[in-house]
Structure 1
Amino acid sequence: MKEKIVLFIKRHPKKLLALLLVSIAYYYCLPKQLFDDPTATVIESKDGKLLAAKIADDGQWRFPETDSVPDKFASCIVQFEDAYFYEHPGFNPVSIVKSLIENIKAGKVVRGGSTLTQQVIRLSRKGQRRTYFEKLIELVLATRLELRASKEGILRLYASHAPFGGNVVGIDVAAWRYFGVQPHQLSWAESATLAVLPNAPALIYPGKNQTQLLNKRNTLLRKLYTEHIIDSLTYQLSILEALPQKPFPLPQKASHLLQRIDKTQKGKRIQTTIDFNLQSQVNQIVEQHYQLLRQNEVHNAAVMVMDIASRKVLAYVGNTPTDNAHQKDVDIIDAPRSTGSVLKPLLYTAMLDAGELLPNTLVADIPTTIAGYQPENFDKSYHGAVPAKKALARSLNIPSVRLLREYGLERFREELNMFNIKNLDKSADYYGLTLILGGAESSLWDLTKTYANLASTLNHFNESSSEYYSNEIQEPVIINHDSIVFEHRLQQKNLYGAGSIYLAFEAMKEVNRPEGEEAWEFYDSSEQIAWKTGTSFGNRDAWAIGVTQKYAVGVWVGNADGEGRPALTGVGSAAPILFDVFDRLPDVGWFDAPYDDLTKIKVCSKSGYLASDICTEVSLYTSPNGQRFKVCPFHKLIHLDKNEQFRVNSSCLSIEDIVNKSWFVLPPLMAYYYKDINSAYRELPPFKEGCITEVMPSMEFIIPKGNSTMVVTKDFDGTRNELVFKLAHSKPATMVFWYLDDDFIGSTKDFHELSILPKEGNHVLTVIDEFGNELQRRIKIETTS
């Protein structure tokens, strides 16, 4: 046998070479990629539902190739175009002969006789004239395609690239445009309608050719019935269905997420992490609130929902359904905006973790000037002293600024780098102490991610053997097949311990509203949520971010162009959206307490500092470093007479008649504001007459603040208004003498307030009390024009 083969080769070398060349040419004649047309960018929910799509660059609605053809459409297209599709090798000789005879009789091309495989080739060779030579080329390429691809693969190519009228290409788009459903949801009548269109796509124009289209569809349905593909009842019901009258718009449930994905995945079909039902509900919530917000000329809002365990984004609403004039296409989720107060929980967590603060520690809330910077609370009021956790819950600005200075601006700024907040990229000196009040910019994406990372750290600590993961800080995930693998457990925390995070969340459970907005309590949710609001300077940005054990929700409200509105606040504008979103999420319960990272200590019940021997103490949990915090400085042991009306000492009363008592005493300026809110606060009793004391009283200015500029205003008649100066004295009944530039201007007693009308320029204000204590303050006086 071998000898015969060798002999044949020797006798016919040219024929064999020609055969080899023809075989090679045949093998390579079919392009590796048949279609290179631009395709639409398509995003789907995690369960495969269409969320949004962006038209292809050539203006055609052409989706990326489908991965499956619905059975109903497959049956319809095969019966209509190529009944022997599953039997032939790419061409049908019988059909070719019949078409030749009919074309010759007609003197023109009236029938093609092409198989579905040949039609795929013809679609890929767009623009070629329909000649017999072209038919021969199509036939050769069709047989080659049959060798390369399966019948199902060929059918997918046809269904993906067949024209369906207008600028609609492919079954996926056609199902949406003409029937408003996904392809697998098509009925038999709808599938039959679409099956006849590639043969005559002009029939689909709304209001035209309805009779022709109806006849073609019903003829196909009749064939399906006679071929026993559908039963009699299905046939009868199908021919009663109406034809499509107008194109449906494609879903745009996540148009801004589509923009984001299109930047890196252009022309692809992407299955996202979005929960379709939740996305629809959040869209509805945003639209409802937008109708209210725009009455205050607030036109934009954004919402992001994350699953904490997987970091997957479950809902992504980048803007409201506003108009082009108000930048409806801007994706707010990724836009840098002033952070307002939403960084305050991070500072609170940091100080707890370092043992430089305890949850109930009294922090000063008094008029404050630091290097010329004068922070103010939202409602312009002062509390004197307030527990740290309440300062956080109420979002008080002055305590936050004072705590940041105490903790260290540079230190806190460096720690923020751990959270990978991309727009927070300036130095500590650039931001200054305003960093904690919105002096920095960040995006809803990064801030929601940051809160989710904190919650995940706490969850992982409780789920593991009280350990941390080295790669805890992660970016949100929006592509469904992407996942995060947490690995490399550590005993050492990445930044903040689980105990400190838990204590911060406990504080954030309280209604964090500005004082005076009592009506806000009616918005509180029955579910336990750690949440924080923020309002930027000028009421330009309103924030609300919250976490539960499973979910993180971030909300931003404002105007994309940065215009501020008076009533725009985190509490009043963003928080209602936040709670409406949480109402659509399952109630998952509160975080477990991480007792392995908490320590029980005894603290002073009034001051929140570590308890001293003279404090009334209570027990609470804090971070391990909290054991090293300061002992209460506000309780003093004083000596009183038996009626506890006067302070005494051995100079005026015998020792056996002296009562020793612990007394809660705040510094004068703190006490001045604190006693107005805390009616139980009792100032130190006066010394009994005749007692000799070396304790000198103290005093502090309330107005003016340190090195400040004061403006003298004018009435409508041009009269200049006097300025009011105020002083806090530890013994209000003390006589205080006031001087301006060494000139005596008056004295006060009991109520230390003085009204004067100074000249413009720089002055030195001096006060001296009857005990000789002296206090000075430099001021600058200006007059309005």
Structure 2
Amino acid sequence: MSTDRKATSRQPGKVGAQRAPGEGVPGPTRTHEPPHPSSLPDAERGRWGRRLVIVAVAFVWIAAAIAGGVSGLFEAFGPAPLGRNLEVSTLVLDRDGKLLRAYLTREGRWRLPAARKDVDPRFVEALLAYEDKRFYHHRGVDPLAMLRAAYQLVTEGHIVSGGSTITMQVARLIEPRQKRSLYAKLHEAVRALQLEWALSKDEILSRYLTLAPYGGNLEGIRAASLAYFGKEPRRLTLGETALLVALPQSPEFRRPDRYPAAAKRARDRVLDRIAGRGLYSAAEIAHAKEEPVPTMRKPMPIVAPHSADEATFASPKKSVIRLTVDGTLQRTLEKLARERAGSLGPDLSVAIVVIDNATGEVLARVASPDYFDLRRAGQVDLTRAVRSPGSALKPFIYGIGFEDGLIHPETLIDDHPIHYGNYAPENFDLTYQGTVTVRRALQLSLNTPAVAVLDEVGPSRLIARLAQAGAPLVLPKDEAPGLALGLGGVGIRLLDLTMLYAGLARQGTVAPLIEQLGQTPQAPKRLIEPVAAWYVGNVLLGTPPPENAAGGRIAFKTGTSYGYRDAWAIGFDGKRTIGVWAGRPDGAPVVGLGGRVTAAPILFDAFARLGASIEPLPRAPKGVLIASSAKLPPPLRRFAPRDSAGEAMTPKVQIVFPPNGANLELSHAAGQSPDPIAIKITGGTPPLNVLLNGMPISAKRTARTLFFEPDGPGFVRLTVTDATGAADSVVVRLQ
């Protein structure tokens, strides 16, 4: 993800110290003191003279500036750029201030802001000991360092050290020079004096920690530490410290990912220098020299990438954004999503949302298992994708029914075939339970009881209630609200559905979601009354758990959309609500996908990885009625539709496939009997009898989908009768 760039003049420290990858090769050993200029030939004396002139001129200028010409130089060079408006990488942090993701600057650089408090104190100690030991005593220019550099220039014949203070290096980083010259050095000195006049020492040090080059497109110690060591620079080993001190002097030729041998030599020289200061023991220095040098760059952190992208898009002018996300939990659930998606198959994806019930803060949001997985459309935010919830809306149907006084958890309700015009809901397993309690109907996710209650509550009212709570449902284009929405004939986002379930945990009030710290919370919105919400939570607490999971700890509901396209599981305890979705990002059907078998195990695993104990649900509010079915008030003992049309809802038995008069083409392999043909039946009262040309077909008497094996081409008559004597018959042609 990084873009390397060649070294530029934005390199502080020991100017002239930048060497080729083979730097450090020893030359001839000098066994005598440098010759006195008077003993040299005329040509050599001329070169020495010129060096002395350069040094003398430099000191004259610097002395003049310090002694009394500072104001004139300030005026000549103009006001100093202080680096307050330098572009830095946008940082997205978690709720505890830990880095989730950083973004490149427009120039393609990793430039992460840093201050003294952000780095290991030993690094600052080593940096100052190596680069500028009088940093806190001089005013930007260190005359002693300049004198030492001048002496080394005269005696060695080349620049050994530049005499630059950290302040001068910062001046050069903020205002890069085009070439090395006496004028450029004077310019840096003046700028350093101006910086010291305007900024504190810690502010100057902070700019160095942010801008120092570390090779390629890395600037600042945080970017370097993350790229080379995979961690923030708050805790560094002595070897890591020395390497980070050495790199800015020659960032391109000492890059450990390209020239590890040169990087190691530079690091060891720093260790030798600071060893002479008495900061560390000989054993510590020896151990640091044995540390391996990193040979490759690590990727920058990218946690909660979808949340980070959304936050930076919403706040483009912010350089630091704090999310409500718990970074540790986010990493844990991202790992869980990757594991489960990998076991489900290469085309399936998983999304997970965790919400704090009390505040509405999003503690984790895993929008895809892998942001960079193209096959799974990893950059698509599946927590915001509109998908069919299947049966996951049933708790809100029953909740409004509880609120209206239509039902109680122990109210008896019929589960049997029923028609509403042309709409005939069926249970998932195509069987019926007869008379059950509402509690049992919701826990087993029976369809016909839920549709019967929705018919009384009203589909439009359900949609309006959820929209009022902040979770609008999405209907197919040009379609009016109907009873099918109770079984998933509508669209909703995982974030919104999880927020609604958190409202059940809050006893009926929905807290609008908060994803950035400091965001002004909105007033909670009423979903259902507290008693109704408590009833729903109490019922869902008894939902049978998935295989190998402990029940009775969290209240949860699953859902599977039509055609096995979406699997859902949403659950809550007294403190947090977790929503899970699984399926294909492109919405294609997946054989065997289901809320209970696919999403529910992920939900329970997510709760297990929260790192905290399960919190009990809130206590029952005033007005809750605890009673058995027989002891309920008479109107609540058994659910009955309020209009008489309910009695005519049971349809007569009907063969819906094959339709009467259909022509069916027989298919079979060569030399084999024709393939079986399906018969689909709806309505009627079991047991059912199916006849083929007057002869009974052997099948379960409750089955509504069965098969018969045709003898060959020709006409056949299919007949079905039910327990009441009602019958239906069709004639089809096989060819």
What is the Cα deviation at residue 603 of structure 1? 4.1
1:310 has 2:336 as partner:
no
Secondary structure of the structure 2 residue equivalent to 1:542: strand
Structure 1 701/233 Cα, relative in aligned 2: closer, same or farther at 3 Å? Answer: same
Is the contact between residue 336 and residue 441 of structure 1 (CA under 8 Å) also seen in structure 2? Answer: yes
Percent sequence identity is 28
Report the CA distance between 1:79 and its aligned residue.
Answer: 1.9
TM-score by length of 2: 0.75
1:569-718 residue pairs with structure 2 within 5 A? 569-585=594-610, 586-599=612-625, 603-604=629-630, 610-611=633-634, 629=636, 701-704=652-655, 713=664, 715-716=666-667
Structure 2: stretches of 5+ with no match in the other structure:
1-68, 668-672, 690-700, 711-718
Q: Distance in 2 between matches of 1:473 and 1:428?
A: 29
Q: 2:333 aligns with which of 273, 282, 290?
A: 282
Residue in structure 1 matched with residue 533 of structure 2 by the alignment: 501
Compute the displacement of 1:419 (Å). Answer: 2.2
- CA offset at residue 299 of structure 1? 2.2
1:132 matched to 2:182: yes
Counterpart-to-counterpart distance in 2, 1:348 and 1:428: 27
Distance (whole Å) between structure 2 residues aligned to residue 256 and residue 331 of structure 1: 6
What CA deviation, in whole Å up to 9, does each residue of 1:417-453 have, x standing for no partner?
Answer: 1221256478995342222222222222111112112
Query: TM-score normalised to the size of structure 1?
Result: 0.71
Whether the 8 Å contact between 1:76 and 1:224 is mirrored in structure 2 is yes
The change in CA–CA distance for 1:543 and 1:363 in structure 2 (over 3 A counts) is same
Q: 1:366 to 1:126 in 2, by over 3 A?
A: farther
> 1:179, 1:499 → 2: CA distance?
55
Q: Deviations over 1:552-596 (max 9, x none)?
A: 111111111112111111111111110111112333342233241
1:703 maps to amino acid: Q
Contact 1:60 1:168 survives alignment (8 Å): yes
- Aligned twin of 1:8: none
Deviations, residues 54-107 of structure 1 (Å, cap 9, x unaligned):
333332222244473421221122222222111111122333344456557888
Does the 8 Å CA contact 1:298/1:565 hold for their aligned counterparts?
Answer: no
Q: For residues 334 and 88 of structure 1, what CA distance do their matches in structure 2 show? A: 57
**2:18 — aligned with what?**
none
1:531 counterpart residue number: 556
Report the secondary structure of 2:117's partner residue: coil
Q: Is this contact kept in 2: 1:348–1:504, CA < 8 A?
A: yes
Please tell me whether the aligned partners of residues 73 and 190 of structure 2 are also in contact (alpha carbons under 8 angstroms): no
**Residue 184 of structure 1: how far off its partner (Å):** 0.8
Counterpart contact for 1:79–1:224, Cα < 8 Å:
yes
Measured after TM superposition, the shift of residue 544 of structure 1 is 0.6
**Structure 2 residue 275 is matched with structure 1 residue 225:** yes
Question: 1:351 Cα deviation (Å)?
Answer: 0.9
1:299 aligns with 2:336: no
Q: Distance in 2 between matches of 1:449 and 1:722?
A: 42
Aligned-partner SS, 1:552: strand
* Contact in 2 for aligned 1:304/1:445 (Cα 8 Å): yes
Q: In the alignment, which residue of structure 2 is the partner of 1:510?
A: 542
How far apart are residue 543 of structure 1 and its match?
0.7
2:232 counterpart of 1:182: yes
CA deviation string 1:452-475 (max 9, x = no partner): 1221236xxxxxxxxxxxxx5333
Q: 1:463-478, aligned counterparts within 5 Å?
A: 472-478=509-515
Residue-by-residue CA offset, 1:324-367 (whole Å, 9 max, x unaligned):
12212222122222222211111111110111222132333333
Stretch deviating more after TM superposition (21-30 or 559-568):
21-30
Question: Aligned equivalents of 1:360 and 1:428: distance in 2?
Answer: 38
Whether the 8 Å contact between 2:82 and 2:195 is mirrored in structure 1 is no
Aligned residues: 636
Alignment match, 1:15: none
In 1, the alpha carbon distance for the partners of 2:432 and 2:295 equals 67
In the TM superposition, residue 375 of structure 1 has moved relative to its aligned partner by: 2.4
The match for 1:456 is 506
Superposed, which structure 2 residues align to 1:177-256 within 5 Å?
A: 177-206=227-256, 209-256=259-306
> Could you tell me which amino acid in structure 2 is paired with residue 479 of structure 1?
Q
Q: Does structure 2 conserve the Cα–Cα contact (< 8 Å) formed by 1:66 and 1:172?
A: no
User: Which residue of structure 1 aligns with residue 460 of structure 2?
Assistant: 410
Equivalent-residue separation in structure 2 for 1:724 and 1:148 (angstroms): 85
Say whether the 8 Å CA contact 2:504–2:534 is kept in structure 1.
Answer: no
Q: Secondary structure at the match of 1:522?
A: coil
Match of 1:7 in 2: none
Asked if 1:341 corresponds to 2:395, the answer is: no
Shift of 1:195: 0.8
The CA distance in 1 between the partners of 2:213 and 2:115, in whole Å, is 14
1:82 paired residue number? 132
Tell me if structure 1 keeps the 8 A contact 2:507–2:531: no
Work out the CA distance in 2 between the residues paired with 1:185 and 1:307: 32
Change (3 A) 1:428 1:226: same
Helix, strand or coil: the match of 1:524?
coil
**Residue matched to 1:654:** none
RMSD in angstroms over aligned alpha carbons? 4.4
* Cα 1:284–1:212 shift into 2, 3 Å: closer
Measured in 1, the distance between the counterparts of 2:342 and 2:205 equals 47
Q: 1:328 aligns to what SS in structure 2?
A: coil
Letter matched to residue 44 of structure 1: L
Summarize the Cα distance change of 1:281–1:89 in structure 2 as closer, same or farther, 3 Å threshold. same
**Separation in 2, partners of 1:386, 1:431:** 28
Deviations 1:479-529 (A, max 9, x none): 345474879xxxxx93411111111011112336xxxxxxx7534324511
* Secondary structure, aligned partner of 2:141: coil
Structure-1 residue corresponding to 2:584: 559
Q: Is the 8 A contact 1:64 1:268 kept in 2?
A: no
1:270 equivalenced with 2:321 (yes/no): yes
Distance 1:596 1:158, change over 3 A: same
User: C-alpha deviations, 1:690-719, integer Å up to 9, x for none?
Assistant: xxxxxxxxxx6132589x989675544899
Say which SS state the counterpart of residue 197 (structure 1) adopts.
helix
- Residue 261 of structure 1 aligns with which residue? 311
Counterpart of 2:617 in structure 1: which amino acid?
F
Look up the match of 1:363.
413
Confirm or deny: 8 A CA contact 2:499 2:512 kept in the other structure. Answer: yes
Answer whether contact 1:499 1:597 (CA < 8 A) is retained. yes
State the one-letter code of the partner of 2:186. L
CA displacement at 1:669 relative to structure 2: 9.2
Quick one: which of 99, 106, 116 aligns to 1:50? 99
Deviation larger for 570-579 or 440-449: 440-449
Q: Quick one: distance in 2 between partners of 1:527 and 1:25? A: 78
